[in-house]
């Protein structure tokens, strides 16, 4: 069968050097280590750069230098494979005639070196197709993959599978005529295995055979002593990995001729042990058994992983379904006689914990279950036992490919005894893994398992009945005779079951993908299983719904559009839209992390919210096939609320009312009526600068067939460290790193957020109650106002907050207006700057630095109402003012700088365009900016060059306040600013 692949151009940039047919200007020397041959290829550098990222860099002006008017490169790969790829790059297309596994692996190695990722993925798909066609690899395939895959980082999964096969059948490698030609690195890797099912003396002889083949001029050396010494130099490292203590006395006598090159007795004693026989459980590979043991011990499987040989667990095989060998005679008491040796008895679980390994008929998939319970006692049928340690797992084969674990969530429903026809009882794992026996005079007996997600995490296999082909049961005990944990107090928590999402457009697994996008994780490597998804998706709106769902969510429907459009109430909190397009059936959607509690301000306006976390997406079907994600680029134009715009063919018709979300200029919605009076909703998709390109769909308008909106809320943490629920304003709406959310340690804190309204410590009259800093930081600042200097966190922030002798009344919040506080806003600065009226009385400023979580602030004890209202740039004297900073809103790593030059503590400063502000010595001052990038003059248009209005604070050192400064000297943009009137309540 012919395979063809076209190499795409890396760029269509007109500034790229044109592809020419001039004389070759590049020499590529290839050394083939296997054949020990060298070949030089001529090529055009312009063609190489246009098709291959590796050559684009290697032949760039920064790295490449011509020698004799030619570029020269050297690579160490297969000559034949490189020639195929080079011809493909130069001709734009490569054709392969039914390549064998060895050829595919060599091409993959070179593709990895040359950074041809798309071609590499194409080759990997062909390699996987060969296995799918054969059901399993042949011995030749195993050898070809083993000798090459260890050199390619992205094929380590293939290498580990082939390594497992080699450990059980070492003849695949050792008996191959190509064995003497393998790399030394591969030989060292396999000699480090702790299980090779071959007598150690035979392994030793194979190492000697390889050494002779790889010792230069071995056969031309004059005598045996010279040969052995030369051989010792070649095998110096390899001979240190032979398990000499595994040899018998007679076998050790046969290697006496090599005694002079063998390691010393001390070195031999330190060599880690190895098994030359297969270890249980034989139903799965040794490495896979070690992985299961890691999960039994709740250890990180990437940290010093166990193998079957060095595992702390010992597995005793007690049941093998339908066995007719001597194994049955030795273990017959574990078989249910009435089921023709198809089912085990409860004796398999008497005395020790156990492990089930089940192979499904047809697919060959493996399902397993670990039971830590000792069922020694006789118990009535259908009785549940609690445990936190049981788990299920699934994988594609006995080597653990695509392994997925599913731990119990509801400990009280972990394991149950269940009555099984015709006689006997079996274990049942929640409702998630149960068994049934079928027997008829017309059909042969069979065993089925039923998969149903309920009390365990999502298993990764569809719910339903599956026929069992093979079934093995192993008893487990620890080699150190320590008891196995049944209920782990460290992980005992209130079980949280993530129920399926009520949706008619997509499958539940699609929400795993969305949750991964929200948390900015890699959807291929780090995709959440549903059980671990940290979000809950609550349906609020379902277009054109006529069921009870509408009655329960009527306030989320726009009444004037006959249930076709939602209201803005759907977005009172982070939300997710999912839409199905008419005709094509494609899925599009959008995530909004902003809480849109406010209504649209004035008619005809669009109100934008700033966020870096919104995104829009599309895919082909309900499971997310061929998904395309487009994240916001221009965070200031991320999301907008705008009036509903209707496309009516009849002018006299009444236009519906309400507002909708719009995502930049890339995704808009309209309400439409056709000539027949039928209503529909359409979305308009455009290329734009607000979101990543290409657009999620080709530009144009599309009719929406189905539309659902979900409220997105955080699930409680699996480790319960706090008792209060997360609030909407705590969600990430602006990610300052843009690739991963900034990690911040959440401390154990008392639930004091809600007490402010009843105790009136903080008065937010006219504003939403959320504030820049938390109450415990307010309590700490209160101690500073009272004259204390400690910046350590308070021992009991709840009591301290309750007892503070001050009341803080919010007067100004940047970018947010309150009807009762108009006089505190500078009208010419777009709600960004306060007026001096904020300081008619002692006041506290709190500011958040943009692109960080850092907080700065300042306390002013002066009443500016009387003496200085009309005096600019005049200092006032006080000993009580201070400025401060912290790492976050909790007051972490706080810095306090009190005034040290009282006669220059504070002054008024003029601020462009008009108005005055406080300035704290020379240490903290403010700047307002709004204008064109090139002219730096005011410009109120909407060009791309506009500097949108923003406020900057200027921090200086060596000023009038204590040192070092609260932040490193420089200018910082402010994205949050609050000012509070401070009134003492105890005097």
Residue 50 sits in a domain whose CATH number is 3.30.710.10
Whether 388 and 335 share a structural domain: yes
**Residue 786 placed within a domain:** yes
Q: In terms of domains, do 787 and 930 share one?
A: yes
The pTM is what?
A: 0.48
Residue 784 and residue 671 share a domain: no
pLDDT of residue 359: 94
- Radius of gyration of the chain from its Cα atoms, rounded to whole angstroms: 36
Residue 730 lies in a domain: no
913 contacts 828 by C-beta, under 8 angstroms = yes
Strand-pair partners of 450 = 434, 465
Same domain, 274 and 319: no
Q: Which residues have CB under 8 Å from 287's CB, separation 6+?
A: 160, 163, 164, 305, 307, 308, 399, 400
**Confidence (pLDDT) at 735:** 42
Which residues on adjacent β-strands are paired with residue 439?
none
> Following DSSP, what letter does each residue of 529-590 receive, concatenated?
PGGG--EEEEEEEETT--SHHHHHTGGGB-GGGTTSSB-GGGGSS-EEEEEEETTT--EEEE
Give 10-residue mean pLDDT values along the chain (987 residues): 83 51 79 86 87 86 80 88 90 87 90 90 87 76 89 87 88 91 90 90 93 90 89 90 90 89 80 82 86 89 76 90 86 84 85 90 91 72 81 91 90 82 80 83 78 87 90 89 78 59 88 92 85 86 84 80 85 90 92 73 61 91 90 85 63 61 84 79 84 86 92 60 26 38 35 42 75 86 90 68 86 78 82 87 92 90 68 78 90 91 88 82 86 40 50 89 90 90 84
pLDDT at site 847? 93
Residue 780 lies in a domain: yes
> How many domains does the chain divide into?
5
698, 714, 730 - which closes a domain: 714
Please check whether residue 162 lies inside any domain of the structure: no
Rounded to the nearest angstrom, the gap between the alpha carbon of residue 713 and the centroid of all alpha carbons in its chain is: 18
On whether both 474 and 522 belong to a single domain, the answer is no
Q: Are residues 548 and 671 in the same domain?
A: yes
Which structural domain, as residue segments, surrounds residue 196?
Answer: 169-278
| pLDDT at residue number 378 | 56
In a domain, 153, yes or no: no
Question: In this structure, are 708 and 645 located in the same domain?
Answer: yes
Same domain, 245 and 339: no
Q: Is 757 within a domain?
A: no
- Distance, CA of 305 to CA of 105 (rounded, Å): 27
> Quick one: 864 and 973 in the same domain?
yes
pLDDT of the residue at 751: 36
Decide which of 130, 151, 179 is a domain's last residue: 130
> Is the same domain home to 792 and 900?
yes
pLDDT score at 798? 56
Burial state string for 327-357 with b = 16 or more CB within 10 A and e = fewer than 16: eeeebeebbbeebebbbbbbbbbbebbbbbb
Q: Are 469 and 324 members of one domain?
A: yes
The pLDDT score that the predictor gives to residue 496 is: 52
Q: How confident is the model at residue 750, as a pLDDT?
A: 38
| Inter-residue long-range contacts of 164-168, CB under 8 Å, 24+ positions, other chains counted | 164/285, 164/286, 164/287, 164/288, 164/399, 165/137, 165/285, 165/399, 166/142, 166/190, 166/196, 167/193, 167/195, 167/196, 167/197, 167/285, 167/286, 168/197, 168/278, 168/285, 168/286
The whole-number pLDDT of residue 802 equals 77
Residue where one domain finishes, among candidates 75, 105, 130 = 130
Alpha-carbon gap, residue 541 to 554, rounded angstroms: 9
Shared-domain flag, residues 336 and 270 = no
Query: Does residue 299 fall inside a structural domain?
Result: no
pLDDT at 770: 63
The answer to whether residue 147 sits within a structural domain is no
């Amino acid at each position: 069968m012919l395979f063809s692949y076209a190499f795409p151009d890396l760029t269509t940039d007109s500034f790229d050097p044109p592809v020419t047919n001039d004389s070759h200007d590049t020499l590529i020397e290839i050394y083939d280590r296997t054949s020990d041959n060298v070949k030089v290829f001529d090529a055009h550098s312009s063609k190489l750069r246009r098709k291959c990222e590796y050559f684009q860099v290697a032949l760039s002006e920064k790295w490449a230098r011509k020698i004799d008017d030619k570029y020269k490169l050297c690579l160490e790969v297969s000559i034949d494979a490189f020639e195929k790829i080079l011809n493909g790059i130069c001709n734009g297309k490569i054709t392969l005639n039914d390549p064998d596994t060895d050829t595919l692996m060599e091409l993959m190695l070179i593709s990895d070196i040359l950074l041809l990722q798309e071609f590499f993925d194409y080759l990997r798909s062909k390699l996987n197709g060969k296995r799918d066609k054969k059901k399993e690899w042949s011995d030749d395939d195993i050898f070809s993959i083993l000798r090459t895959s260890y050199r390619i980082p992205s094929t380590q999964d293939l290498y580990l599978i082939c390594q497992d096969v080699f450990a059980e059948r070492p003849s695949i490698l050792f008996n191959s005529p190509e064995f003497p030609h393998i790399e030394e690195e591969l030989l060292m890797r396999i000699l480090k295995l702790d299980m090779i099912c071959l007598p150690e003396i035979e392994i030793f002889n194979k190492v000697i055979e390889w050494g002779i083949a790889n010792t230069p001029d071995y056969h031309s050396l004059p005598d045996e002593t010279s040969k052995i010494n030369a051989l010792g130099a070649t095998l110096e490292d390899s001979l240190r990995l032979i398990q000499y203590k595994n040899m018998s006395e007679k076998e050790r006598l046969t290697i006496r001729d090599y005694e002079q090159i063998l390691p010393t007795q001390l070195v031999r004693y330190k060599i880690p042990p190895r098994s030359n026989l297969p270890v249980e459980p034989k139903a799965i590979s040794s490495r896979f058994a070690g992985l299961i043991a890691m999960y039994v011990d709740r250890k990180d499987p990437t940290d010093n992983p166990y193998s079957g040989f060095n595992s702390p667990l010992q597995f005793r095989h007690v049941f093998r379904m339908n066995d007719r060998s001597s194994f049955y005679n030795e273990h017959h008491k574990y078989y249910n006689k009435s089921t023709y040796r198809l089912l085990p008895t409860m004796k398999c679980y008497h005395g020790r914990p156990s492990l089930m390994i089940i192979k499904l008929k047809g697919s060959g998939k493996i399902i397993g279950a670990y039971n830590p319970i000792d069922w020694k006692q006789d118990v009535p049928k259908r009785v549940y036992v609690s445990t936190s340690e049981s788990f299920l797992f699934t994988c594609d084969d006995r080597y653990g490919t695509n392994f997925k674990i599913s731990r119990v969530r509801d400990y009280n429903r972990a394991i149950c005894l269940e009555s099984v026809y015709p006689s006997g009882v079996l274990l049942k794992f929640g409702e998630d893994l149960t068994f049934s026996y079928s027997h008829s005079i017309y059909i042969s007996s069979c065993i089925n398992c039923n998969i149903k997600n309920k009390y365990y995490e999502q298993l990764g296999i569809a719910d339903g009945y599956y026929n069992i082909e093979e079934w093995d049961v192993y008893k487990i005990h620890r080699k150190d005779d320590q008891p196995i944990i049944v209920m782990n107090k460290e992980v005992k928590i209130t079980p949280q079951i993530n129920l399926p999402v009520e949706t008619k457009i997509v499958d539940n697994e699609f929400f795993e993908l969305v949750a991964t996008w929200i948390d900015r994780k890699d959807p291929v490597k780090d995709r959440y299983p549903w059980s671990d998804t940290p979000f809950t998706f609550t349906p609020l709106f379902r277009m054109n719904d006529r069921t009870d769902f509408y009655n329960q969510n009527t306030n989320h429907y726009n009444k004037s559009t006959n249930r076709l459009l939602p209201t803005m109430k759907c977005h009172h909190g982070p939300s997710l839209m999912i839409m199905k397009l008419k005709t094509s059936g494609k899925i599009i959607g959008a995530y909004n992390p902003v809480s849109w509690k406010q209504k649209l301000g004035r008619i005809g306006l669009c109100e934008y919210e700033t966020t870096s976390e919104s995104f829009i997406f599309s895919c082909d079907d309900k499971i997310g096939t061929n998904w395309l994600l487009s994240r916001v680029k221009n965070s200031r134009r991320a999301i907008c609320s705008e009036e509903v715009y209707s496309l009516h063919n009849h002018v006299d018709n009444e236009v519906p009312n309400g507002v909708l979300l719009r995502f930049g200029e890339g995704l808009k919605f309209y309400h439409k009526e056709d000539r027949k009076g039928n209503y529909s909703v359409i979305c308009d998709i455009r290329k734009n600068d607000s979101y990543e390109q290409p657009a999620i769909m080709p530009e144009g308008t599309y009719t929406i067939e189905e539309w659902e909106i979900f409220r997105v809320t955080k699930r409680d943490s699996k480790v319960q460290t706090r008792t209060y629920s997360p609030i909407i304003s705590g969600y990430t709406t602006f990610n300052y790193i843009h690739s991963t959310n900034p990690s911040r340690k959440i401390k154990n804190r008392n639930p004091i957020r809600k007490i402010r309204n009843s105790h009136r410590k903080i008065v937010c009259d006219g504003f939403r109650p959320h504030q820049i800093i938390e109450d415990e930081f307010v309590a700490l600042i209160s101690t500073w106002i009272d004259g204390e200097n400690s910046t350590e966190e308070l021992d009991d922030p709840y009591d301290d907050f309750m007892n503070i002798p001050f009341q803080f009344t919010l007067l100004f919040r940047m970018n947010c207006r309150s009807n009762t506080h108009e006089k505190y806003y500078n009208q010419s600065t777009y709600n960004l700057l306060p007026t001096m009226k904020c300081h008619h009385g002692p006041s506290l400023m709190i500011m958040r630095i943009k692109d960080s979580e850092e907080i700065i602030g300042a306390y002013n004890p002066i009443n500016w109402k009387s003496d200085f209202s009309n005096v600019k740039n005049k200092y006032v004297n006080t000993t009580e003012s201070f400025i401060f900073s912290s790492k976050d809103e909790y007051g972490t790593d706080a810095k306090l700088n009190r005034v040290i030059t009282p006669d220059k503590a504070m002054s008024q400063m003029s601020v462009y365009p008009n108005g005055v502000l406080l300035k704290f010595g020379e240490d903290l001052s403010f700047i307002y900016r709004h204008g064109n990038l090139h002219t730096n003059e005011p410009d109120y248009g909407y060009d791309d060059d506009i500097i949108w209005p923003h406020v900057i604070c200027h921090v200086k050192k060596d000023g009038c306040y204590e040192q070092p400064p609260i932040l490193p000297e420089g200018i910082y943009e402010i994205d949050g600013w609050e000012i509070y009137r401070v009134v003492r309540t105890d005097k």
